[in-house]
Amino acid sequence: MNKTGGKKQIKLCIVCSGGGHLIESKLATMTLRYPKYYVTFYSPHHRHEKEKYYHVINPYRNLARFIINFWQSLIIFLKERPDIIITTGASVVISTCMIAKLFRKKVIFIESSGNPLTASATGRLLYRMSDLFYVQREQQKRFFPDARYMGSLL
């Protein structure tokens, strides 16, 4: 319940790397009619979009950058207070998902369809941490046996 006595509306955090991960995230969430915002690394393409974007540093395999990303992600998380995190990966998402679990929020991970022959590093890391884990190709279930098959977004 919110302060006016009505039901609290769910807020979504869509966190992903740019490019194909962002396209898959948008396709996966485009019919969801909840307040949402995006966390990704900076791209000039976001300037013209109407959605709310936050930009964080890409920590790609660098501890110092990961620490900066973690603090940026925590500040955004505390400001927005999302209920559900939806992600398609990659490395930019790890901090937000860790923070979400610390605050007992739901994490939904969608494994990218880009390479069905291997498991993504982010998928391997977040498989046990996610509340729901989806794959877009049947072949990916061999890496993530408890995942739900959803079909391809692209």
Is position 5 within any domain? Answer: no
Average predicted confidence (pLDDT) for the chain: 92
DSSP-derived secondary structure for 74-136: HHHHHHH--SEEEEEE-GGGHHHHHHHHHTT-EEEEE--SS-TTS--HHHHHHTTT-SEEEES
Q: How many domains does the chain have?
A: 1
Is position 2 within any domain? Answer: no
DSSP structure class, residue 62: -
Q: What are the tens digits of pLDDT across the range 30-70?
A: 999 999 999 999 877 766 778 899 999 999 889 999 999 99
- Please determine, for residue 13, whether its predicted confidence score (pLDDT) is greater than 80: yes
- Please determine, for residue 148, whether its predicted confidence score (pLDDT) is greater than 60: yes
Buried/exposed code over 72-98 (b: 16+ C-beta within 10 A; e: otherwise) = bbbebbeebebbbbbbbbbbbbbbbbb
What per-residue confidence (pLDDT) applies to 8? 78
Instruction: State the residue range of the domain holding 31.
Output: 12-149
110: domain CATH number is 3.40.50.2000
Is position 107 within any domain? Answer: yes
Q: What are the tens digits of pLDDT across the range 85-98?
A: 999 999 899 999 99
Q: What are the tens digits of pLDDT across the range 95-116?
A: 999 999 999 999 999 998 888 8
Is position 154 within any domain? Answer: no
More confident residue, 43 or 84: 84
CB within 8 Å of 108: residues ≥ 6 apart: 84, 85, 86, 87, 130, 131, 132, 133, 134
Is position 88 within any domain? Answer: yes
pTM for the structure as a whole: 0.92
Is position 141 within any domain? Answer: yes
pLDDT over 90 for what percent of the chain?
77
Q: Alpha-carbon distance 151 to 142, whole Å?
A: 15
Is position 1 within any domain? Answer: no
What per-residue confidence (pLDDT) applies to 6? 67
Is position 7 within any domain? Answer: no
The DSSP H or E segment spanning 53 is strand 53-55
